[in-house]
């Protein structure tokens, strides 16, 4: 007997809900029918998927290892069904985006809004997540397109460079540096610094002189989100760093930006797709739209004081 999608769906639901009762309700099955599906799948695979006691249910070691593959198979079938629907009507479709959190909170919404104006019958789903999760979503076929800063990626992915941005210093408008057209990294040595945790800052370590790198990696405050850094900067607790696409967001906080030179350090932002996945007409349309309008990520220049 071969493994069926129905069995895989039952397996994934039981694993995710950690309950035969809840999974049976979701599938509109009796518990005995659901148990039968799981038993058939275990017999087909010749492994035990769950360890059961009178009070607890949890995945076996084999179940934990097979769960990502089962999800991938179901995702592939979902893509197949979606592709069939798209082929029936080229004017409809669904685009699934995975976008890094800062882009999702600043620039990406205007792209989605403009695209939806051009293609009102195409549904766009936006998942905002960490940069590493953007890559994972594409690798696991959970999203059609991913947009995020450059990160290591597997051979299964294709990338297009959308834009690049230099680093900017964000500061209150009454700060002395606000009167300058640009500042240098050396200017930051005596400033109170608010930096973001993670690769955004850590990648600077090998691109700056040792004395400046040491200061950047020993900030006065180290936080997780740019929104927090902007709020703290607004309250005069220090200055922080960002990239040019966040200009509108910075302005909303009543802050100003100044480019940092000596040296100019830039970050590339990539459009990630899967090599082994043929994009739907809707996803292809969004990909082309992003590439053709990538310059708009940086159209908002910071205002002078």
Q: What is the 3-state secondary structure (H, E, C) of 163-224?
A: EEEEEEEEECCCCHHHHCCCEEHHHHHHCCEEEECCHHHHCCCCCCCHHHHHHHCCCCEEEC
- Pairing between strand 239-243 and 145-149? unpaired
Chain-centre distance for alpha carbon 11: 27
pLDDT at 88: 57
Dihedral pair phi/psi, residue 95, rounded to 5°? -115, 125
| Cβ neighbours around 292 below 10 Å, total | 9
- Nearest Cα to Cα of residue 260 among 159, 181, 201, 199: 181
Residues of the chain with pLDDT under 50: 303-305
Task: Return the CATH fold of 83-163+268-298.
Answer: D-Maltodextrin-Binding Protein; domain 2 (3.40.190)
User: 155: which DSSP letter?
Assistant: T
pLDDT at 304: 47
Which tokens go with 13?
């639901």
DSSP, collapsed to helix, strand or coil, labels residue 98 as strand
Average model confidence (pLDDT) across the chain: 87
Q: d(Cα 204, Cα 269) in Å, to the nearest integer?
A: 16
At a CB cut-off of 8 Å and minimum separation 6, what does 186 contact? 212, 262
pLDDT at 305: 44
Residue given tokens 């640009």 in the structure block: 182
Cβ atoms of residues 243 and 168 within 8 Å: yes
CATH of 165-265, one of 3.40.640.10, 3.20.20.70, 3.40.190.10, 3.40.50.970: 3.40.190.10
Which tokens go with 155?
């051979």
Q: What is the pLDDT of residues 51-98, one digit of tens each?
A: 877 678 888 888 889 999 999 988 888 888 877 766 555 556 889 999
Start-end of H helices in 46-148:
61-88, 101-105, 108-118, 131-139
Q: How far is CA 154 from CA 16, 70, 138, 151, 162, in A?
A: 27, 20, 10, 10, 19
Residues of the chain with CATH 3.40.190.10: 83-163+268-298, 165-265
pTM: 0.64
| Cβ neighbours around 28 below 10 Å, total | 7
Q: d(Cα 240, Cα 218) in Å, to the nearest integer?
A: 13
Task: Return the CATH fold of 5-73.
Answer: Arc Repressor Mutant, subunit A (1.10.10)
Q: d(Cα 38, Cα 9) in Å, to the nearest integer?
A: 10
pLDDT at 143: 93
Q: How many residues does the chain have?
A: 305
Residue given tokens 């930096």 in the structure block: 195
Chain-centre distance for alpha carbon 23: 29
């Amino acid at each position: 007997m071969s493994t069926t999608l129905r069995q895989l769906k039952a397996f994934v639901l039981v694993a995710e809900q950690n309950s035969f009762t809840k999974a049976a309700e979701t599938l509109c099955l009796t518990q005995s029918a659901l148990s039968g599906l799981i038993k058939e799948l275990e017999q087909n695979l010749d492994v035990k998927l769950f360890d059961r006691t009178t009070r607890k249910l949890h995945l076996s070691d084999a179940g934990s290892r097979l769960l990502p593959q089962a999800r991938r198979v179901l995702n592939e079938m979902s893509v197949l069904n979606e592709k069939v629907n798209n082929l029936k009507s080229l004017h409809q479709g669904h685009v699934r985006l995975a976008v890094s959190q800062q882009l999702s909170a600043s620039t990406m919404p205007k792209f989605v809004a403009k695209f939806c104006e051009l293609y009102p019958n195409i549904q766009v789903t936006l998942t905002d997540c960490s940069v590493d999760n953007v890559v994972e979503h594409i690798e696991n076929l959970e999203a059609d397109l991913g947009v995020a800063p450059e990160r290591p990626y597997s051979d299964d992915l294709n990338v297009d460079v959308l834009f690049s941005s230099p680093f900017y210093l964000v500061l209150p408008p009454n700060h002395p540096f606000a009167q300058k057209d640009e500042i240098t990294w050396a200017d930051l040595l005596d400033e109170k610094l608010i930096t973001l945790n993670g690769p955004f800052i850590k990648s600077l370590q090998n691109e700056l002189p040792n004395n400046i790198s040491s200061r950047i990696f020993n900030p006065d405050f180290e936080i997780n989100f740019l929104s927090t850094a902007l709020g703290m900067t607004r309250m005069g607790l220090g200055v922080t760093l960002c990239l040019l696409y966040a200009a509108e967001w910075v302005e909303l906080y009543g802050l100003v930006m100044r480019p940092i030179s000596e040296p100019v350090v830039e970050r590339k932002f990539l459009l990630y797709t899967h090599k082994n996945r043929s994009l739907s007409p809707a996803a292809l349309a969004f990909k082309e739209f992003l590439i053709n309008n990538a310059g708009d990520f940086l159209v908002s220049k910071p205002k002078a004081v």
